Amino acid sequence: MSGSNFSDASTRADESWISFCNGYVQATVDSLSVGDGVCIPNGVTRTDLVTAVERTISASIQLKSINSFEAVRLAMRQAFLCPR
């Protein structure tokens, strides 16, 4: 699945697709390690995560064209970059 496919699935008004996207983002969050550079602030909801990821992927030709797992991980890094 590409980033574009993930973005399309995440914007469907269908409970099954919404659940799929929530689970996909949660699985990606669960796979993150300290070195990934993603720092999700306290209080951010799964809906916030999916919305930020979908918007970031939709705005990027590069993220739309790569594997969805990498696209979601890189979108999270852009949206929730750890402070240096």
Residue pointed to by tokens 């594997």: 67
SS3 59: coil
Q: Name the pTM for this structure.
A: 0.89
Cross-strand bridge partners of residue 67:
2
Average of per-residue pLDDT across 2-13: 91
Mean pLDDT of 10-38: 89
Average pLDDT rounded to a whole number, residues 6-21:
90
Q: What does the pLDDT read at residue 79?
A: 94
3-state secondary structure of 43: coil
Cα gap 84→13, rounded to integer Å: 38
